[in-house]
Amino acid sequence: MTRPKRDVSKLAGLLTIAAEAGQPVKTVVTALPVTLLSPGKSQPRRDFDAMKLEQLTASILEHGVLQPLLVRPVGERYEIVAGERRWRAAQAAGLQEVPVLVREIDPEKAQQFALIENLQREDLNAVDEVDAKLALVALTLSLTPAAARTRLTQMLREQPGEQHAAVEQLFAVLGETWTSFAKNKLRILNWPPAVLEAVRSGLRFTLAGVIVTAPPEMQAKLIELAQAGASREDLRKKIKEAQVKLAPIPRIERSRVASALMSETWFNRLDTKRQQALQDWLERMPGSLKETLTEGGL
């Protein structure tokens, strides 16, 4: 699923190193050997689309790396904070070195930068968006993502306080309200793993929202239909058809069926063909049900 690129430039205020201390950020633009760079430990991206990586490699072969990678020194090497995909493509293109922006960044700030770059992806799916924003909330509140998820839900029921203000400021920069995020988006993390994986693979969020309303045994088939081009209305129709088939017989109807089967008069009013059809049906019913009917006097 393709999403419009987000303007998160204002988050620089959250990420400026030593801003509170009033110290300038140390920035150096240079080129470094690709062998001196390592992927960041806080990289939120789980996978890299092979086709898009090939396209980027082809672009780098023709034009070079147009945007420097953001890296931070770690011992004798450098950790990639933002730009791992460019680094991978540069290696595939045979480049020996890449342009980099070197910054002295602590691990927490490095994670924030990585999350921000992830949120700027044009192909960001709904699940990764929620994960990235939840991780930013966790950093803002000094919690784990799991604890931040619980905390956001609790905050919906509380009077505004310092944490509310901090989260509200964060989401104002992200272009939405934290309450909307907590009420409407966090819930997708409760979706079945198969549905979440399908969303990560490109299934539209709106289609996934329909699929999760279906019985679990239907969801795999519905995912296939959605990936093949089925619309929301198509999926709803399939779910409705299944619900009709699985709907229990109303109690009044069950009573009428039972009374009819127990009535000799009703049976004798049937013509020979219908009597034989009923007899055949009774012969085919499960043994346990037949025993129950026999015990009841049928």
Residues 150-203 have pLDDT tens digits of 999 999 999 999 999 999 988 988 888 999 999 988 989 989 999 999 998 889
The pLDDT of residue 149 is above 70: yes
Task: Give the distance, in angstroms, between the CA of residue 225 and the centroid of all CA atoms in the same chain.
Answer: 18
Q: What is the pLDDT of residue 290?
A: 61
Higher pLDDT, 295 or 156: 156
In the chain, % of residues over pLDDT 90? 35
The pLDDT of residue 47 is above 70: no
**132: in domain:** no
Highest mean pLDDT, choosing among 236-245, 254-263, 289-298:
236-245
**Amino acid present at 54:** E
Same domain, 286 and 235: no
Q: What is the pLDDT of residue 243?
A: 76
Residues 67-126 have pLDDT tens digits of 888 888 998 999 988 888 899 999 999 999 999 988 888 888 888 877 877 787 767 788
Q: In whole angstroms, give the CA distance from residue 61 to residue 277.
A: 76
Last residue of a domain, one of 73, 89, 105: 105
**157: in domain:** no
Same domain, 261 and 285: yes
Last residue of a domain, one of 71, 105, 139: 105
pLDDT tier, 25 (very low <50, low <70, confident <90, very high otherwise): very low
Last residue of a domain, one of 105, 135, 159: 105
**133: in domain:** no
Same domain, 236 and 255: no
Q: What is the pLDDT of residue 298?
A: 52
Residue 73 has phi, psi (to 5 degrees) of -70, 135
Same domain, 91 and 68: yes
Same domain, 23 and 83: yes
**48: in domain:** yes
Question: Which range is least confidently modeled, 25-29, 179-183, 266-270?
Answer: 25-29
Q: What is the pLDDT of residue 114?
A: 78
**Amino acid present at 57:** T
In the chain, % of residues over pLDDT 70? 76
CATH number of the domain within which 5 lies: 3.90.1530.30
**162: in domain:** no
State how many domains the chain has.
3
**Buried-exposed string 14-43: b where 16+ CB fall within 10 A, e elsewhere:** bbebeeeeeeeeeeeeeebeeeebeebebb
> What are the tokens at 245?
């088939």
Alpha-carbon dihedral 161, 167, 168, 173, rounded to 10 degrees: 160
The pLDDT of residue 5 is above 80: no
Q: What is the 3-class SS of the chain, one letter each residue?
A: CCCCCCCCHHHHHHHCCCCCCCCCCCEEEEEEEHHHEECCCCCCCCCCCHHHHHHHHHHHHHHCCCCCEEEEEECCEEEEEECHHHHHHHHHCCCCEEEEEEECCCHHHHHHHHHHHHHCCCCCCHHHHHHHHHHHHHHHHCCCHHHHHHHHHHHCCCCCCHHHHHHHHHHHHHCCCHHHHHHHHHHHHHCCHHHHHHHHCCCCHHHHHHHCCCCHHHHHHHHHHHHCCCCHHHHHHHHHHHHHHHCCCCHHHHHHHHHHHHCHHHHHHCCHHHHHHHHHHHHHCCHHHHHHHHHCCC
**151: in domain:** no
Same domain, 30 and 100: yes
Q: What is the pLDDT of residue 153?
A: 93
Same domain, 237 and 282: no
- Identify which of 174, 175, 211 has the alpha carbon closest to the alpha carbon of residue 193: 211
Q: What is the pLDDT of residue 46?
A: 59
Same domain, 255 and 222: no
pLDDT tier, 4 (very low <50, low <70, confident <90, very high otherwise): very low
Alpha-carbon dihedral 126, 128, 132, 138, rounded to 10 degrees: 90
The pLDDT of residue 11 is above 80: no
**291: in domain:** yes
Q: What is the pLDDT of residue 281?
A: 73
Range of the domain at 290: 251-295
Same domain, 8 and 44: yes
Q: What is the pLDDT of residue 225?
A: 93
Q: In whole angstroms, give the CA distance from residue 135 to residue 49.
A: 22
The pLDDT of residue 140 is above 80: yes
Q: What is the pLDDT of residue 24?
A: 40
**172: in domain:** no
**Buried-exposed string 169-182: b where 16+ CB fall within 10 A, e elsewhere:** ebbebbeeebeebb
Same domain, 17 and 95: yes
* 44 within 8 A of 134, measured Cβ to Cβ: no
Question: Which range is least confidently modeled, 23-32, 34-43, 132-141?
Answer: 23-32
The pLDDT of residue 64 is above 60: yes
> What are the tokens at 173?
């920069």
Same domain, 6 and 99: yes
The number of beta carbons lying within 10 Å of the beta carbon of residue 168 is 14
Q: In whole angstroms, give the CA distance from residue 206 to residue 2.
A: 13
Same domain, 99 and 197: no
> What are the tokens at 116?
């921000």
Average pLDDT over residues 38-66: 81
